[in-house]
A and B are shown apart, each in its own frame.
Chain A
Amino acid sequence: MITFNRFTLSNGLKVLVHEDEATPMAVVNILYDVGARDEDPDKTGFAHLFEHLMFGGSVNIPQYDLPLQRVGGESNAFTSNDITNYYITLPANNIETAFWLESDRMLSLAFNTKSLETQRNVVAEEFKQRYLNQPYGDVWLKLRPLAYKTHPYKWATIGKELSHIEQASIEDVKAFFKKHYTPQNAIMVVAGDVKTSDIKRLSEKWFKNIPAGEKYNRSIAREAIQLEARRSIIEAKVPVNSIYIAFHMDDRSSPSYYICDLISDILSRGQSSRLFRKLLKEQELFSEINAYLLGSIDNGLFIVEGKPLEHVPLENAEAAIWTELKRMKDEPILDYELDKVKNKIESTMVFSEMSILDKAMNLAYFELLGDADLFNQEIEKYRRVTAEEIQETANRLFTKENSSTLLYLAKKDD
């Protein structure tokens, strides 16, 4: 259970405060409601590139990191297909420095061309390091467009291709800032050794005068229902074959999200899970096997991926995965196994409450979904899932028509 207080400034900025005296630190987490799904199809990778630029100096403060490090703080950020999330950790008695820095970059960036040039290079190197220069690194560049035909989830946050990043101009940067980086498009969570009354005073002092900006209304059409199996085979210079199967599932706020999450746990969480037990240990077909959700806000993907052992023909490996998925569809799960995955969820939730940063990020994310208190209701939602729901959802999910399969074939050296 995470307690919090909440208030909204006149410009629309939502502020949540979680008081935790057990730590001398404080976290300031600001979530901007913008991700790769909000990008223009011809300018992909922009939300993420923009995240880098947010550290390149703001209108009144030439350098972002220096003053923060000077007061003992650290900062970082991440971009997903849905959100861009910035966070600062610092000794609580220096929290005003975080307000000063964050409010200035919400007010306006410096729009420095040198910073844009450098960060284009840095992101290009990131693209190479994480997606191109790694075995299987480009899987999401291939699997996303296979599974999504219209929804912007069809590109990865890094972007479709390097050229989109290389072409980003300072005008693009300014327009993106104006459109998305407004107080009403942001949620700020302050957690740690702080008092709500102080945070209220500081929020008003530093953020209240930032113009509200224009409201951005997202309108992204739902991905059409997939009607036939999709398949793509890549011959690549990878050491072993690899299988990825993506199934369409509902959105983050749907009750079936919890059902799908438990199904993925039954299949692959922990060493007693089904895929690990059956396919890796007993039938000796795979060296690695996993099932997980991408966890996106709009209609998401349920992924099963595995690396078959060298001597195992791909079709046998693939068939074995389907056999286990069919078992989920045909046989109701026993209480024991369902309790087991629910117990794991419960302890994971308790452990996540040991970190103020995790707590702050969770509050911000669930506030975006509608209400930060939804986080506290999560455990109950998992608890309520029944064996019938699991079977029913498995039947809906695990069909060939709903699947997109990507196979990597290891190209042997001649």
Chain B
Amino acid sequence: MINRSTAPEFKDIEQVKLFEPVKENLSNGINLFIFNTDAQDLVRIEWVFNNISPKGSTPLLNMALGGMLIEGTKSLESAEIAEKVDFYGAFLQPEYSFDHTSLTLYVLNKYVDFLLPVIKDILTNSIFPEQELKTYKRNNRQSLSVSLEKNDFVARRVFNKTIFGDNRYGFSPDLVDYKTLEQEPLINLSNKQIVADNCTMFVSGKVSSEIISSIHKIFGDEWERTGEPLEDHPYIFDINPNETILIEKNNALQSAIRIGCRTVNRAHEDFSSLQLVNTILGGYFGSRLMSNIREEKGYTYGIGSGIGSLKHSAFFTIATEVGINVTQATLDEIHKEMDKLRTDLMPIDELNLVKNYMNGAFIGSLENIFSHVDKFKNVHFIGLDLHYYTRHLQKIKESTPEDVLAIANKYLNFSEMSKVIVGKI
């Protein structure tokens, strides 16, 4: 008979080596990072631009730039771009995030050459046609009006505004903001932001030498720099947001809760330790918040915490949706769990479990070559290199219950955090 009561022997988790890209410079100065692997016949090519905000402009302009990048150029209509991308079975995704605007192309190798000239046209000749802008505004307003009915969505908006204040990180558009969007400022922003001077490229997958030379030619030799400086306004976070905001929804069955604050980003020496503490509190299925509030009390379908690292700041947040009758009880339990991390040394067994979980999750997050690129981008854009991850894993490994206590005291202070509740209390 086998012994079913005892777990099989545990083996140390061997760390994988992160993929070190080959870096090349295009003749116009663009950095190209190549992640070549011998796998499926496909590539992902990314063009990443830092967001810039000329004086007096609204962050909505940055969002619209991302949203409308593939809506028409001097020579190609929106419909023609869509037709080409779809015909070659490709996926072309413009994306806006707090710090960057990017364009990502997923394509089978055999079709790369058909699409690179289209991308070049998009990056250099986009005109944000009036008609498409009208559609963009109309549809975004309508989908925003739907989202505004979702408590969780509203809680996130209010939370960002509360902790970051009046800048790109704190901004979420209101319905009326779309009225102010116009073509001219969009073109101006594009001419300043979507330029060779501000572009970083990543190519990953089965990257042939032909693809690399096409990139050199089309996005290097044939793309001139503007030579203009890149404007961005400074980020000032002069608010101290330890407030509680309740947005009452009379018909709510559940309340959406967000609790958190600004915190240190990846470049800070405490970041890895903070990630460890975050994982213990709410970063995995067995976390203290999940164990207590879902598995023990059944107040919610899910509760979690996370840290977002940005270029000029970072945030810590706890998010959940809970029954209206247990909203206050949930807040109290969150408070208790945070305090417990600050007052009680955690059991070594639990700490070891979290360390192993994080190790496993780390290699699990490196599923394919694209995930290696994402890991690289996380450090590259904040001025670090891949050695960061060696230090990170080492730091997690060496952490003691005393370290966890100290970090929790330094960064997790319930009374200093913003609490946003959308629903009923």
Contact = CB atoms under 8 A, between A and B. Distances in A.
Interface string A308-342: 01100000000000000000000000001001100
A41 B353 CA distance: 42
Interface string A5-25: 000000000000000001111
A359 B295 CA distance: 31
B347 to A, nearest CB: 12
B301 A355 contact: no
Given A284-B135, A346-B108, A69 B357 contact: yes
A372 to B, nearest CB: 20
B296 A118 contact: yes
B380 interface: no
Interface stretch (A89-97, A171-179, A392-400): A89-97
B399 interface: no
Nearest to B353: A70
A71 B40 contact: no
B143 A287 contact: yes
Contact of B10 (A71, A104, A344, A345): A71
A214 interface: no
Nearest to A311: B138
B253 interface: yes
Contacts of A103: 4
Given A23-B367, A70-B353, A239-B145, A96 B8 contact: yes
Interface string B269-298: 000000000000000111000000011111
B298 A120 contact: yes
A121 interface: yes
Interface in B64-119: 78-79, 82-83, 85-91, 106-108
A270 B70 CA distance: 13
A123 B299 CA distance: 10
A60 B10 contact: no
A288 B139 contact: yes
B384 interface: no
A61 interface: yes
A392 to B, nearest CB: 24
Interface residues of A, number: 83
Interface residues of B, number: 71
Contact of A94 (B13, B107, B108, B149): B13
A70 B148 contact: no
B89 A94 contact: no
Contact of B252 (A60, A121, A133, A206): A133
A72 B393 CA distance: 14
Interface string B311-338: 0000000000111000000000000000
B118 to A, nearest CB: 13
B359 interface: yes
B180 interface: no
Interface in B1-20: 2, 4-5, 7-11, 13-14, 16
A100 B8 contact: yes
A60 B5 contact: yes
B172 interface: no
Given A70-B352, A104-B4, A133 B254 contact: yes
B25 to A, nearest CB: 29
B348 interface: no
B300 to A, nearest CB: 5
Contacts of B185: none
A281 B363 CA distance: 43
B370 A97 contact: no
A287 B139 contact: yes
B4 A100 contact: yes
A70 B86 contact: no
A197 interface: no
Contacts of B16: 24
A280 B139 contact: yes
Contact of A69 (B9, B86, B107, B286): B286
Nearest to B151: A133
B41 interface: yes
A310 B142 contact: yes
A128 interface: yes
Given A25-B367, A94-B13, A307 B39 contact: no
Contacts of A281: 78-79, 135
A69 B285 contact: yes
Contacts of A340: 83, 86-87, 89
B142 A307 contact: yes
Interface in A90-137: 90-91, 93-94, 96-97, 99-100, 103-104, 107, 117-123, 125-126, 128-130, 132-136
Interface stretch (A144-152, A271-279, A360-368): A271-279
B308 interface: no
A230 to B, nearest CB: 26
A52 to B, nearest CB: 10
Given A69-B357, A284-B135, A125 B40 contact: no
A34 interface: no
A215 interface: no
A238 B108 CA distance: 41
A61 B5 contact: yes
A24 B149 CA distance: 43
A354 interface: yes
20 contacts: A25-B367, A66-B286, A69-B353, A91-B13, A91-B14, A94-B13, A100-B7, A121-B299, A240-B142, A272-B83, A288-B139, A336-B87, A344-B86, A347-B90, A347-B106, A347-B108, A350-B40, A350-B42, A354-B370, A356-B367
Give me the 5 closest cross-chain CB pairs, A-B, nearest first: A72-B360, A121-B298, A343-B89, A271-B82, A347-B89
Given A71-B13, A130-B301, 5 more contacts: A89-B364, A93-B11, A272-B86, A351-B42, A355-B367
